[in-house]
Each structure stands twice: as C-alpha cells, then as structure tokens.
A and B are shown apart, each in its own frame.
Chain A
Amino acid sequence: MTALKSGSPQNDCSRDHDSTRENDSLQENNGSEDVLSSLSAMFDGEATQQDLEQLIDGDSAELSRQLESYHLIQQALHKDSPVAVGLEDSLMLRVRAEINVDASFPEEQGLEERSVNNLLPFVLPSERKATRSTWRVALSSVAVAASVAFVVILGGNELLTPDTGAPNLVAEVRTPSESMVVTPLAELDENALQVDNVRLQHYLRQHAEQAAMTVGQGMIPMARVVSYPVKE
C-alpha cells in the first residue's frame, strides 16, 4: 500500500477527498467519482463512515475495474510480471460479505478476535452466525470501517501475489448421482489402454508411493503398485 501512496493517482484523489466531494454534484459522473474517491481513501487508510457507505452503495463493476487499474499500477511500481487478476469480483463479494457478517455477529466475541475471524467470513462455522447485540449496533460504524478496510487491504495484497494460475473463486460443483457406477480397476486390463488410463496408472503409482511414506509402514504399502494394471 505504501507504493500506492507514492505518486499514484488515487493518492491525489484522497488528498483532495473532502473538497472534491463538495463539488461532485456539479459533475456529470459525480457518483462514480465519489465511489472511486472513497476507494482511494480506503487504500490510504483514511476512509470515513461516508466513504464506507459510498463503497457499499457503489457500482461493483466500476470498483472492480478501478481495483484492476490499481493493481496494474502496483505491478509497474514493483516491476512484477503481468499476472492474471481475476479476483476483483470476489474482493467485492468479500466486502459485502464482511458487512453482512458484521450484522450477525455474536456479542461475546471481542473486536480483536472478530477482526481476525472475519478474514474469510464465508468459511466461518455456521454456529458463529448468531444475533447481533445492542452494543454491537452502537459500535457498528467503527466495526464496519475496520473490517472493510482490513478486507480490502488483504485483497490488495492478494492481487499482488504473482500467481499466474490464480483461478476464479467458484468452481462448478455437481452433486454426485446416487447410482454411481463403480468400475473395477482390473477391467482396465481387459481393454486397450487409452491415454486416460495410462495417466490413471501413473497417478495410482504416485499415490501408492506417497502413501508408503506417510503411514509409517515402511515400503509395505507399495505392494499395491504391483496389483495395478500396467498394460500399454
């Protein structure tokens, strides 16, 4: 985040944050600029309650685009190789999830503990999602500010990770059919092995070898390897 501050466009935005907002009503795209200004303020750790509200109500697509441009700026500053971003949508989902989770947190949980646990609200155990307490309501503005800032910074760091294989965050998941056909592996021997089966053999061997090193029975589990089909 320090790199962003030094000479990055959004830093200028945040510096003039308050004065810009007063004149926004005169501009054609004032809403969009407000949101970007709020986002910039958040990156700089200067977000106000109003900034947070702007972000919550903002156009997530626009925010995603802006995040990507921030990311490219960071890349240029850090001389990183180009990376696939592909995480913008999830980042905004996290911001929203964060706010939703905040609205349903149990009262016995302290602020410090909460900020740690909120890193991945979507993997929290279900029993944590309890009713919101009255004192939590009173502290909500502080809590939302802290948690959203934390998540965005975390997201920023994640975007910096030079991980070219970073996939999107949601896989298509199908439930298994109830009548799943189970084929004996031995049948692979009866057919001419295709590429898929050669690959499967390789995986079976790899598995047997790794299992042998994991379960503390010497090389004995590797005895399975000789039972696997091997024709090519």
Chain B
Amino acid sequence: MRLFSFLHIFFTVLCLTISGVSSASNTTPDALHLLRSMTQSFSTLSYDGVFVHSEAMNINSMRVRHDLMGGVEYESLVDLDGDKIEVLRIDDKIISVYPNALVANMRAPLIPPFRRFKDVESDRLIKGYDMIVGEHTGRIAGRKVVAVKLMPKDQYRYGHQFWLDEENHFLLKHDMLKTNGRLLERIQFTSVNFAPDLKDIDFVPKEGSYAEPEVETQPRRVKNLWQFDWLPKGFSLVWPEARSLNHGTSMLLLSDGMATISIFVEPTMKAKTMSILNMGATIAGERSIKVKDQLYLLTMVGEVPEPTIEKLMTVFMPRQD
C-alpha cells in the first residue's frame, strides 16, 4: 500500500512537471507568432497615431501615418515638439522634410535605408532571448493589449517588453530595459486610428517646407573586408557585403533579430584611443585600429550595453578568408 501511494505521488508529480514544461515551451512559439504578426502589421495596416518617445532626459511626441495606396506603401513620421521635421517613406525611398532650407542644411543628409525586413528573425531571437507572453491583458491608447516579454539570455543585450493590440497585434508600447529592470527607452502610443482617411496628398511635403531630393535607393555594395573574432550568441551580419558610404567609409550591420549594431570603418590619419558615448539605450564607441601601416577609425553604434560595444571593438579585424 505504501508502495502504491509512493508511485501515485511520483506519477502525479511527473504529470504536473510534464504539463508545466509543455506550457512553458509554448511561450516562445506564441511570442514569436505575435512578434511576426506585429512586424507584418506595420506593413499591412493603415494607421494614424501619436506616440511618445522617451529616453534619457528627452521626451518627444511624434505622429506616424501609414497606408497602402495603389500597391504603394506610404509612411510618414513627424516630430510634433521640435523643428517639425518630417520623414517620409514611399516604398523604400526616404525623403526628409524640414521647415526651411536653413534647418535642412544643418542636418546630415539622409542616406536611403536598405530594403525593409518584413519577417521576424526567429532563429536569432531564440538564441538571445527567453520569451514569455503575458497572461493578462491591459489597455493602452484605449485599446486592449497583450504583453510579450523578451528576457536576454546574457549580458550582451537589453530586455524588451512589447504591448501589442489584442485585435491586430500592432505595437502600442515598447520598453527597452537593462538586465536589472531599469527602463532605458519607452515608446508609447497615446492615440491611434486604424481606419484613417489618408490620401497621397498627406505624404507630400507641405508648401514652404524644404524637402531633400530623393536619392536612389540602391546603395553601393562593396566586398566586406572585415570580420569579428567573436560575436554574442544570435548576432550575425545582416548583409553579406559591406555598404559603401561617403568618403570611403564602409558600413556593416549586426543584429540578433531585435537589437542592431552599426559598424563604420574608414581610413584615418589620426590615432584615437577608445571612447564610449551614450544616450539612453544608444551606445556609441570609437577607436582607431592599425592594419599594416594604415590607421582606420572604427565606430560602432547600437542599442546594446556598453560592454558589448567595448568587447566588439576589440575583436574587430580584417577578414581572413
């Protein structure tokens, strides 16, 4: 009888454990499904909303609009607090709009970004993060939301929490968090309309404003001459080639599916010791490296902890294949 009781308890515990494990293992696929749906919602939904972006000591409110008209994707982002800068995107073409030519000339020219990713890099994400879908729903900008939490598996990346519209999985709030839980950056919608009456005229620069001319969307691809001797798990190069910017600068892009790190390398005449700068979640590192007799200035910018940038800057070297 005692043996029977023991076996009964053992199997009960075993069943509970198995059910616990199976429910925990469902969280990652569920989270990935939601993140995938969120990514697609940015391309497929029509929306007109206002959100607040806060990091460090800065708070900005911005308006974002998006629509698909005649098979063409239109998107605009307007700074509501500052210089009334507007960034327009028509498919993969980016146009910067400034209130006047004076402000426009103060800004560095926009270089068109590369083709947008429209899916979630699930393999990379799984390597870098544990993912949980929140059990309870909440409300943001007057809409019901479901929470998805990404907890970093190591100290080389930040944590993320997303609050997605329960109905269409649009991102309504995003927190970037240090491993100790400290908030680094927050984006939160205060209002959003998913049935806006947008017309193509809404994506034309206003009279009196100064629009930067459109630039060709095909950036110059060049052979990547560089490599990393080490990368945090899940991080890899987004493009196989490097991108050539102005003045002989090559740009590489690393990503773990959530965080991105841009690498800029250019010849220089001046040796520079390593320096690190930060603003909110963004960290920038600079140093010179010597290759044979040539000095190169290496700059890395990313939304990752300082030690990640520091370490990556010491393992960056000429490619060996």
Contacts and interface: CB of A to CB of B under 8 A. Distances in A.
A78 B312 CA distance: 39
Contacts of B320: 90, 120, 122-123, 169
Given A169-B317, A203-B262, 14 more contacts: A169-B318, A170-B317, A171-B318, A181-B276, A185-B278, A198-B108, A206-B251, A209-B111, A210-B262, A217-B42, A218-B43, A219-B77, A227-B279, A231-B106
Interface of A: 86, 90, 119-120, 122-123, 158, 163, 165-177, 180-186, 188, 196, 198-207, 209-220, 222-228, 230-232
A158 to B, nearest CB: 8
Contacts of A216: 35, 38-39, 42, 117-120
Contact of A220 (B108, B187, B280, B311): B187
A105 B117 CA distance: 41
A58 B269 CA distance: 38
A212 B113 contact: yes
A199 B268 CA distance: 13
B194 interface: no
**Interface size grouping (class) on chain B:** 35 or more
Contact of A180 (B42, B290, B303, B306): B306
Contacts of B253: 210, 214
A200 B225 contact: no
B134 to A, nearest CB: 19
B23 interface: no
A220 B274 contact: no
Contacts of A186: 56-57, 279
B280 A213 contact: no
A182 B318 contact: no
Closest 8 CB pairs of A and B: A216-B39, A185-B279, A218-B42, A168-B292, A207-B262, A223-B53, A202-B108, A167-B291
A206 B238 contact: no
B149 interface: no
Interface string B164-206: 0000000100100000000000010000000000000000000
Interface string B110-125: 1101111111100000
Interface in B87-120: 87, 89, 94, 106-108, 110-111, 113-120
B175 to A, nearest CB: 13
12 contacts: A90-B320, A119-B321, A163-B225, A167-B225, A167-B292, A173-B289, A184-B279, A201-B108, A210-B114, A211-B260, A217-B39, A232-B106
